[in-house]
Amino acid sequence: MDDLIRRIAALKKEKNALILAHTYTRAEVQDIADVVGDSFELAVRAADTTAAVIVLAGVRFMGETAAILAPDKKVLLPVADAGCPLADMINPDQLQRLKAAYPSAAVACYVNSSVEVKALSDVCVTSSSAVRIVRNLPQKQILFVPDQNLGSWVAEQVPEKEIILHSGFCPVHHKIQPEDVADARKLFPGAVVLMHPECTKETRREADHILSTGGMVALVKEKKHQRYIVVTESGITHTLQRHDPAAEFIDISNPAMYCRNMKKITLETILRSLDEEETLVTVGDDIAEKARGALVRMLELNR
């Protein structure tokens, strides 16, 4: 592994590359990344970087987002077929039909979506920014796509808006049941339950804190608790442990909390990606321009 890490570091320097890794990637991938963060943090860093090459250790929509926000950079995805099933749960035709049914609604689109769907949206949101952005939109009626769970959580936080939900869900988070969390609490008394808003409404009732992965990191950095039950994709326990080595992080004991797409990214795939400059993420100019509008509005409305 040391040799792989050395070769990645050398290529990174030679190519003036930045490695951005999502918190759901493997521990060893997070350890060699320049930035480990949630979708929002990665999008901001991609937009700001002076590096010539961005290696996006994450799934396809993250690579597309980086390519749109940093059009003068080479954006590489280590694994071309690392996708997001949630993003695939709505296509442009379905969104067009929804827009026709709700013509006065603003379309708020979770960043976990295809570039074509973003191009049809008024604004993108991430789990850390969705509540603030929806609250700041001038329209009362909001069409929220594609994640029904994040959308229902936003609706709870922003009751003054009328939120119309699409039926998409993240297969990793959607399967977790309230009993899974209650069982973990019995096994680990006193643990604080951190939960991602992509979990269902019923399961969210079992949480102490409902937070984006970035929000979880911020809370853990405060070092107020000794033990946490973490209800989101298992990769984040490594991220959290780095921020508070003394605390105990319990990954909920359910095999569903594993995103096999995120875990496709390995040190070997990152090395190959840097070496061969593959797979280059490209987005057509027209579609990129429209999607950029929704992404830039996300960055603006989250200030």
Q: Which residue ranges make up the site for ligand SF4 (CB under 6 A)?
A: 24, 59, 84-86, 112, 170-172, 233, 259, 261-262
Least distance to ligand SF4 from the beta carbon of 160, Å? 27
Q: Give the integer Cα–Cα distance in Å for 177 and 165.
A: 21
| CB-nearer residue toward ligand SF4: 73 or 196 | 196
Least distance to ligand SF4 from the beta carbon of 110, Å? 9
| CB-nearer residue toward ligand SF4: 161 or 214 | 214
Least distance to ligand SF4 from the beta carbon of 90, Å? 13
| CB-nearer residue toward ligand SF4: 59 or 191 | 59
In the chain, the DSSP E strands lie at: 17-22, 35-37, 53-57, 74-76, 106-110, 123-125, 141-145, 162-165, 192-195, 209-210, 227-231, 248-251
Radius of gyration for the chain, computed over Cα atoms and rounded to the nearest angstrom: 19
Give the residue carrying structure tokens 């950095």. Answer: 221
Least distance to ligand SF4 from the beta carbon of 12, Å? 24
| CB-nearer residue toward ligand SF4: 70 or 172 | 172
Least distance to ligand SF4 from the beta carbon of 162, Å? 25
- Residue 97 DSSP SS3: helix
Least distance to ligand SF4 from the beta carbon of 262, Å? 6
| CB-nearer residue toward ligand SF4: 59 or 207 | 59
Give Cα separations from 283 to 134, 152, 196, 231, 248 (angstroms).
27, 31, 30, 34, 42
Least distance to ligand SF4 from the beta carbon of 115, Å? 15
| CB-nearer residue toward ligand SF4: 51 or 259 | 259
| CB-nearer residue toward ligand SF4: 234 or 273 | 234
Question: In this structure, what token pair is assigned to residue 107?
Answer: 């379309």
Least distance to ligand SF4 from the beta carbon of 86, Å? 4
- My answer on whether omega of the bond before 279 falls inside 30° of 0, hence cis, is yes
Distinct helix (H) and strand (E) counts, the chain:
15, 12
| CB-nearer residue toward ligand SF4: 11 or 20 | 20
DSSP lists the bridge partners of residue 194 as 209, 230
220 phi and psi, to 5 degrees? -65, -35
Q: Give the integer Cα–Cα distance in Å for 118 and 138.
A: 19
Give Cα separations from 59 to 96, 114, 279 (angstroms).
25, 11, 12
- Residue 175 DSSP SS3: coil
